[in-house]
Amino acid sequence: MKFRAVGACAAAVLAIGSMCVVPAARADLPVVELGAGMYRIEAELAHTDMTRQIGLMNRPMMPAQHGMVFVFTEDARHCMWMKNTLLPLSVAFLDREGRILNIEDMKPQTLDSHCAAGPARFALEMNEGWFAGRGVRAGDKIRGIDKLPAGR
């Protein structure tokens, strides 16, 4: 499950009594090129515990062809939620070959769980409606998944 890193921030606020600010963008994340049909995707890479926990939280916007790809350490029915995430997103859960298992639309700042329909190794978050607007659906394959580093 993708957890957002807020516990440490809350503990710091309680301990020192000041505001904790989480950065709105992660300029230090590598960007990988993926593809869906004829569409090119620039995806930030979230393949460590910390980057998966933070995800796209606190970002006010994301360019149209950009997203974030989550690389998990094992195949499982991973779930995502939107705590502290300001953008409406669509998430595609992918198997180890990059085939889309299912796509879920996610509303900002909610705690609803959105889960893979089967064992997933990856999740690709894009702006809400990106997949539907391009005719990308379950069963389609995302290109470039085979070049991603292993999750850690």
| Extents of the domains making up the chain | 7-147
| pLDDT score recorded for residue 28 | 81
Give residue-wise pLDDT tens across range 40-67: 999 999 999 999 999 999 999 999 999 9
pLDDT band at 92 (very low <50, low <70, confident <90, very high): very high
DSSP characters for 11-77?
Answer: HHHHHH-S-----S--TTS-EEEEEETTEEEEEEEE-SHHHHHHTTTT-S---TTEEEEEEEEEEE-
Residue 146 has pLDDT above 50, yes or no: yes
Look at the domain 7-147 and name its fold: Jelly Rolls (2.60.120)
